[in-house]
Amino acid sequence: MTDSSIKTQCPYCGVGCGLEVSPPAAPGKAVNRDSQGNPVWKVKGDRHHPSSQGMVCVKGATVAESIDRDRLRYPMLRESLDQPFRRASWDEALDLIANRLKTVCDESGANATCMYGSGQMQTEEYYVAQKLLKGCLGTNNFDSNSRLCMSSAVAGYVQSLGSDGPPCCYEDLDLTDCAFIIGSNTAECHPIVFNRLQKHHKRNHHVKLIVVDPRRTPTAEVADLHLAIQPGTDIDLLNGIGYLLLQWGEIDRSFIDECTSKFSDFAEVVQHYPPQEVAKRCGISAKEVELAARYWSESKRVLSLWSQGVNQSSEGTAKVCSLINLHLLTGQIGKPGCGPFSLTGQPNAMGGREVGGLAHLLPGYRSVSNAQHRQELEHLWQLPPGQISPSPGRTAWDIIRGLETGEVQFLWVVATNPAVSLPDLERVKAALAKSPFTVCQDAYYPTETTAYAHVLLPAAQWGEKTGVMTNSERVVTLCSAFRSPVGEAKPDWEIISQVARRIGFGNKFAFTSSAQVYAEYVQVTRDRPCDMTGLSHERLLADGPTQWPCPDRGNASPKRLYTDLRFPTADGRAKFSACHSQGLAEPADPEYPFVLTTGRLYGHWHTQTRTGRIDKIKQMHPEPFMEIHPRDARTLGIEDNQWVEVRSRRGIAQFPAKITSAIAPNTVFVPMHWGYLWADKSEANALTHPKSCPHSLQPELKACAVQIVPLAVKSTDERRLSVLQNS
């Protein structure tokens, strides 16, 4: 507990704004309290943070208000899901988990155990989890919700550039001549990045802003060109732009010759994407395609920004590579103001990538399929040769499948709420209900997932523990604790280390602070692209947020990657990909004639465990809804605010209709934020499907085919009444 102000990073989105947090009362002043009487720490933007320069959005500004509400305060246990939980001591809960883990490993092998983590874990927490599962237990069954989020970006960067890691930095937002925003509602989801870009756009008349999104989002509202493409037609558009740039000769021939490979394969593919054809497929005009290509060709520096409209797709990796192709074609990379810049979703999804927090990765941007990488870690972790498995572990969806078949017998969920956020929820819930043993380690109770757990472990959350997070531009911030954990909650790194010690790995998990964990972790990044051997908690506290690479010897970090135009591929060249558009995995058809897309609102964070408890945010977004185009509403006879039932091949959900021309015809949109604890039958993922990109294995959460049936209830009050009467 501190009585002076501290600096930290916002625990919500990947912009990673710096926050300054001060105690609920200055000496001699009244205590700042929330509506329930809890003292609330005061939060403001940290003017000295290099990424955000003092700015914050509503989520960051209100984050401290949810810390005390509905927390999980002590461990709880039950034998089966139909029993109530009973309070347990930490010793009892940890012994139970350790014994069960040992028994399952002995009887069925380590691959029968899984951990499902999150981009909201701190780097130290990720690291101890990798060391325990991938190192000591010898199973790569650690996957995280980044599988639903950034894995296509990771796969695309690796395929095109040879390594993961966004090459750009936020300063590029102030230097670009053209921002090409595709599949990102930056204004609502990365608001502080958007503010900075918008300022630059307003100040400089030559700067163009292009937005590619089937919805006219607040991001699209201010664009010079909004391409409202049909969902799933991004590759058509990107190849169409490539076609025109090639035809016009607006390409960087010397960059292509000296720094890239496979250009001719790409050139062959784009020949099949003339503007008329592309316009038809995308549902826009040929003029719009031409204008987009014109803006690319006329701009010295094009910066593309993308997020889930690109990644959450059955061809997510191909979408990322097709976008990077345009940067290679025009030499728009490795220089200020340009480059392909994925906007990271979660506050430490970048840290998760550094530390190997997906089932095919190992710490230090290493891969489980690379023998040398495995050896390096076996050596560093002092494990016997061959201890780390060469096979990728189970992805998020494979964990669900493993529960269905009985192959997964031990599931440990940390800092994610899969009973809301995974696709095809009926199937997910049935699989979770079958799990022989599930540990749910969360900060709040209840969450939708705690209903499926045998053991609940109370996690200390942001502000109650010290650890490190990395934001979208590779800036690492130390997030210091400013208060003690509620109840008996403990930091995640400590919980995982305690279990590791109880199953006999005491010498490898003798950490007594997260600073020690971090000190060990940075050593495994030595000479890797994400070298951060120069960092420590001490240095981060003294010097403030620092960008990687940051080796302990040699040069200080460059702001951008690939400024020498050499890429970490075998031949040092970036690689063009030849990708044809495959469209959606489940396109609309006569029976399910609409494409449903899903996404986020400005105030809410994911499954609402925090933002649903903040009055100001609840007032901003009181209930779920479904956006539908006026033309479609007319055809179906739907009035504004009338309730509709949305049906897919997998499930149903109900929403009040919001009739708006902001959504493309034939497409409907619902927010992802309402799990069953927050609204009755309004779960977006009751409808979605798990079909995934074959390379990144990221599911297509952005599109599935649905039918829409108007309901008799005309208002939300009427519906509330009917729900009450039926319950």
Phi-psi region of 501 (alpha: psi -120 to 50; beta: other; left: phi over 0): alpha
Among 140, 185, 581, 696, contact with ligand MGD (rule: CB under 6 A): 185
Stretch that binds ligand MGD, among 156-164, 210-218, 369-377, 394-402 (CB under 6 A): 210-218
**56 touches ligand MGD by CB under 6 A:** no
Q: Which helix (H) or strand (E) covers residue 326, if one does?
A: helix 316-330
Among 9, 176, 217, 299, contact with ligand MGD (rule: CB under 6 A): 217
Span 335-364, contacts to Mo ion by CB under 5 A: 345
Bridge partners, 655 (sequence order): 644
443 binds, among ligand SF4, Mo ion, ligand MGD, none (CB under 5 to 8 A by kind): ligand MGD
Stretch that binds Mo ion, among 147-155, 415-423, 532-540, 682-690 (CB under 5 A): 147-155
**466 touches ligand MGD by CB under 6 A:** no
For residues 609 and 696, which CB has a smaller minimum distance to ligand SF4 in the complex? 609
Judged on CB neighbours under 10 Å (0-12, 13-18, 19+), 36 is: exposed
What is the token pair recorded at 277?
């054809």
**61 touches ligand MGD by CB under 6 A:** no
What is the token pair recorded at 699?
């599911």
Q: Total binding residues for ligand SF4 by CB under 6 A? A: 13
Whole-Å CA distances, 91 to 307, 415, 499: 42, 21, 10
Q: How far is the CB of 543 from Mo ion (least distance, A)?
A: 29
Stretch that binds ligand MGD, among 142-150, 381-389, 392-400, 504-512 (CB under 6 A): 142-150
Among 270, 324, 338, 415, contact with ligand MGD (rule: CB under 6 A): 415
Q: How far is the CB of 40 from ligand MGD (least distance, A)?
A: 17
Confirm if 149 and 308 have CB atoms less than 8 A apart: yes
Among 5, 7, 13, 531, contact with ligand SF4 (rule: CB under 6 A): 13
C-alpha 101/C-alpha 411 separation (Å) is: 9
C-alpha 677/C-alpha 681 separation (Å) is: 10
**515 touches ligand SF4 by CB under 6 A:** no
C-alpha 36/C-alpha 645 separation (Å) is: 36
C-alpha 228/C-alpha 225 separation (Å) is: 9
**17 touches ligand SF4 by CB under 6 A:** yes
Span 148-207, contacts to ligand SF4 by CB under 6 A: 191-192
Q: What are phi and psi of 704, to 5 degrees?
A: -150, 165
Contacts of 536 (CB under 8 A, 6+ apart): 515, 518, 519, 522
For residues 180 and 562, which CB has a smaller minimum distance to ligand MGD in the complex? 180
Confirm if 457 and 485 have CB atoms less than 8 A apart: no
Tokens 């930056």 correspond to 186
Q: How far is the CB of 605 from ligand MGD (least distance, A)?
A: 5
Span 148-207, contacts to Mo ion by CB under 5 A: 149
Peptide bond into 390 cis (omega under 30): no
**345 touches ligand MGD by CB under 6 A:** yes
Q: How far is the CB of 701 from ligand MGD (least distance, A)?
A: 4
**317 touches ligand MGD by CB under 6 A:** no
Span 59-78, contacts to ligand SF4 by CB under 6 A: 59-60
| Nearest Cα to Cα of residue 119 among 456, 348, 354, 417 | 348
Contact letters (x/-) for ligand MGD, 474-493, by CB under 6 A?
------------------x-
Confirm if 95 and 457 have CB atoms less than 8 A apart: no
Q: How far is the CB of 461 from ligand SF4 (least distance, A)?
A: 15
**471 touches ligand MGD by CB under 6 A:** no
Orientation angle between helical segments 234-248 and 275-282, nearest 10 degrees? 160
C-alpha 583/C-alpha 585 separation (Å) is: 7
Judged on CB neighbours under 10 Å (0-12, 13-18, 19+), 164 is: buried
Confirm if 423 and 586 have CB atoms less than 8 A apart: no
**494 touches ligand MGD by CB under 6 A:** no
Contacts of 55 (CB under 8 A, 6+ apart): 17, 45, 192, 195, 196
Q: Is 71 helix (H, G, I), strand (E, B) or coil?
A: strand
Confirm if 610 and 63 have CB atoms less than 8 A apart: yes
C-alpha 653/C-alpha 684 separation (Å) is: 7
Q: How far is the CB of 347 from ligand SF4 (least distance, A)?
A: 7
**685 touches ligand MGD by CB under 6 A:** yes
Q: How far is the CB of 11 from ligand MGD (least distance, A)?
A: 7
Q: How far is the CB of 284 from ligand MGD (least distance, A)?
A: 12
Among 22, 111, 151, 346, contact with ligand MGD (rule: CB under 6 A): 346
Contact letters (x/-) for ligand MGD, 421-450, by CB under 6 A?
x-------------------xxxx--x---
Stretch that binds ligand SF4, among 51-59, 164-172, 225-233, 579-587 (CB under 6 A): 51-59
What is the token pair recorded at 681?
């039958």
Tokens 């690109």 correspond to 310
Confirm if 295 and 164 have CB atoms less than 8 A apart: no
**468 touches Mo ion by CB under 5 A:** no
Q: How far is the CB of 478 from ligand SF4 (least distance, A)?
A: 15
Tokens 């540990």 correspond to 439
C-alpha 110/C-alpha 121 separation (Å) is: 23
Whole-Å CA distances, 395 to 128, 314, 412, 434: 19, 15, 14, 18
Among 128, 173, 182, 596, contact with ligand MGD (rule: CB under 6 A): 182
For residues 10 and 237, which CB has a smaller minimum distance to ligand SF4 in the complex? 10
For residues 346 and 497, which CB has a smaller minimum distance to ligand SF4 in the complex? 346
56 binds, among ligand MGD, ligand SF4, Mo ion, none (CB under 5 to 8 A by kind): ligand SF4
Confirm if 689 and 424 have CB atoms less than 8 A apart: yes
Among 5, 6, 8, 16, contact with ligand SF4 (rule: CB under 6 A): 16
C-alpha 230/C-alpha 214 separation (Å) is: 6
Q: Which residue is nearest to ligand SF4 (CB)?
A: 60
The footprint of Mo ion (CB under 5 A) covers: 149, 345
The footprint of ligand MGD (CB under 6 A) covers: 13, 118, 120, 145, 148-149, 182-185, 188-189, 212-215, 217, 231-232, 234, 307-309, 312, 345-346, 414-418, 420-421, 441-444, 447, 459, 461-462, 492, 597-600, 602, 604-607, 609, 672, 684-685, 688, 701-703
The footprint of ligand SF4 (CB under 6 A) covers: 10, 12-13, 15-17, 52, 56-57, 59-60, 191-192
